[in-house]
Amino acid sequence: MRRRWLIAVCLLAIVAAAALWGMERRQRISTAAVERNVAHLMTDSSVRCYNHSRNGSTWACAVGRPPDPECKVVHVSPFGSVSIESQPRECHYP
């Protein structure tokens, strides 16, 4: 009986570690995919994005042509869906 509990706890720890890695460490999306998604959502073909996080969860994107592109903050969920902040407080595109 104790052995079953030990195996169950070990399996649970492995699943929890894999979920944590999937949510926090794994690169969620590539630069090209973010730029493609933002261009589609904003209906503008001129999009350049910069990753602001280690795992690709937060991006700053310059939308529009220079000299006056609009800066947008983009969030990517752990499952890959892209959302754009409607009123970003801070947006810094390098």
HSE-CB at 62 with a 13 A cutoff on CA atoms is 10
What's the pLDDT tens digit per position in 52-72?
888 888 999 999 888 888 889
pLDDT the model gives residue 35:
94
pLDDT the model gives residue 59:
92
pLDDT the model gives residue 26:
64
pLDDT the model gives residue 25:
63
pLDDT the model gives residue 39:
93
Residues of the chain with pLDDT below 70 are 22-26, 94
pLDDT the model gives residue 66:
83
b/e burial code for range 17-38 (CB count within 10 A of at least 16 → b): eeeeeeeeeeebbeeeebbebb
pLDDT the model gives residue 41:
92
